[in-house]
Structure 1
Amino acid sequence: MTVDGEAVRLKSEADEPGWEVDPDDEWGLAVIATVGRQLKLRREAVGMRAGEFGTAVGYGEDLVYKIEGGKRIPRLEYLDKADEVLNAGGLISAMKEDVKKVRYPKKVRDLAQMEARAVEIGVYECCIIPGLLQTPEHARTLIQAAQPPYSPDDVERMVAARLARQAVFERDPAPSIHFVVEEAPLRREVGGTMGWRAQLERLLEVGRLNNVTLQVMPTNTEAHPGLDGRIELLKFPDGTAVGRSDGAFNGRPITDPKQLRILELRYGTIRAQAFPPRDSLAFIEKLLGET
């Protein structure tokens, strides 16, 4: 393809690695298959070959076929370009909302859906700052530290998924949210000094919300029930609940009332041993002043 005499390289699979749908994500597979089928039908309806269409939207023919075959998740800008090239009047662009959800891993999407319904959320983290509290740079740095490393595309996908969950703070009516964070990850300068400062400032910002309680567990304290891993508790309007603990019930989500009472007992003990909310915010302010 050339524009004004200059060659333009079409995007190939090498440019966009890692955008397959999770094979266990039945809903996601159905969405991408439907989107791909609609794209193919509209392309054929205007008499365009896959190669011609790819040139028009800036993609190689191989990627066009994969997207139309439901094998790849199209980027949102791909749908906008396709809508324009095929004169779809916004019908293709309208599919972006469902495609946007499929871009996020199923387990993250399921968690976000539960958090969006919960009236009460409780989180204890022992090694990192909870995802609901992370700044974009903090999240990106943590995800990039994984071994083996994720591709740059997958990193951005996972960062976007993590940040999307933070819409829970914008809900109306707002849920009651409780966090207990260990002191150690608060002192780890993830992302350098400026990134660390921005993260501490984010903690203070969220911790001052009327519906949020943020507590710090000091390192210099007695052993407590959270030392073997993260605990999460979500309660819903109908009185049901779901919980998960890295150190109990094999880390799987639980809904059995007896098991939930065990997690609630452990979480309550952790909250009782942590600094009170006011002292916790003062502790974070002190850390921020030391930078």
Structure 2
Amino acid sequence: MRSPALIALGSELRRYRLAADNMTQSHLAKLINYSEGMISNVETAQKVPRHDFVERCDQALNTGGALLVLHGLLKYDTHPVEAFARYTDAESQANAIYMWEFVVIPGVFQTPEYARALLTAGRPTVKPEIIDDLVAARMQRQDILSRDRPLDLIRQIREDQ
């Protein structure tokens, strides 16, 4: 099922492209250095675009950030990387995190290699570029550890075990 945000982004991309002197997908593809097929897939809500793609379209079509705003809504949809955004949004605002993990190093402390191994093992049929996106998203979470006021990490151990 295609998400409303993805449909809206595709529709607006097409509207802005056509408003730009009836620009073709081929012409836009050359301007942004992406394939015509990618533009078609985004316009028809068949593919979730990366931020870079939307940023280039936004600049080429002079939308004033409108496409980027719509792209921001995608982080709450079902794309494997973006669906985790609600958690990471809350995590980035937290003062403390209480966590319990069983045998696995918590995601915020994982190295890229460790994260890739876990993500690949858990999703053996997923395309490598999706795994790359998931690893990058996990590594970006580590920003909360080096901000001006790092959060407190509290590990709870149950005494009754």
Q: TM-score, normalised by structure 2?
A: 0.73
In 2, distance between residues paired with 1:174 and 1:91? Answer: 31
2:41 corresponds in structure 1 to 66
Q: 1:32 to 1:172 in 2, by over 3 A?
A: farther
In 2, distance between residues paired with 1:128 and 1:48? Answer: 50
TM-superposition CA deviations, 1:23-51 (whole Å, max 9, x none): 59xxxx34333322221111101211223
1:79 corresponds in structure 2 to 54
TM-superposition CA deviations, 1:197-233 (whole Å, max 9, x none): xxxxxxxxxxxxxxxxxxxxxxxxxxxxxxxxxxxxx
Identity of matched residues, %: 25
In 2, distance between residues paired with 1:152 and 1:99? Answer: 24
The CA deviation at 1:138 is: 2.2
In 2, distance between residues paired with 1:97 and 1:40? Answer: 14
CA contact (8 A) 1:50 1:64 kept: yes
CA contact (8 A) 2:96 2:152 kept: yes
Pick the structure with greater CA Rg: 1
Q: 1:43 to 1:150 in 2, by over 3 A?
A: same
Partner of residue 268 from structure 1, selected from 150, 158, 161: 158
Q: Which amino acid aligns with 2:25?
A: A
SS at match of 2:100: strand
The CA deviation at 1:157 is: 1.4
Structure having the higher strand fraction is: 1
The CA deviation at 1:170 is: 4.1
Structure having the higher helix fraction is: 2
Determine which structure has greater relative contact order: mean sequence separation of CA pairs < 8 Å that are 6+ residues apart, divided by chain length.
Answer: 2
In 2, distance between residues paired with 1:30 and 1:171? Answer: 34
In 2, distance between residues paired with 1:120 and 1:80? Answer: 33
CA contact (8 A) 1:136 1:163 kept: yes
Does 2:29 match 1:54? yes
- Structure 1: gaps of 5 or more residues: 1-22, 180-263, 274-291
In 2, distance between residues paired with 1:84 and 1:113? Answer: 26
- Structure 2: gaps of 5 or more residues: none
Q: Which amino acid aligns with 1:165?
A: R
1:110-189 counterparts in 2 under 5 A?
A: 110-146=86-122, 148-170=124-146, 173-179=149-155
Q: Which amino acid aligns with 1:152?
A: P
Does 2:15 match 1:41? yes
In 2, distance between residues paired with 1:43 and 1:137? Answer: 40
Q: 1:172 to 1:85 in 2, by over 3 A?
A: closer
SS at match of 2:34: coil
Q: 1:147 to 1:43 in 2, by over 3 A?
A: closer
Q: 1:36 to 1:115 in 2, by over 3 A?
A: same
The CA deviation at 1:131 is: 0.6
CA contact (8 A) 2:5 2:74 kept: no
Please provide the CA RMSD for this pair.
3.2
Q: TM-score, normalised by structure 1?
A: 0.45
CA contact (8 A) 1:131 1:162 kept: yes
Q: 1:36 to 1:169 in 2, by over 3 A?
A: same
CA contact (8 A) 2:6 2:74 kept: no
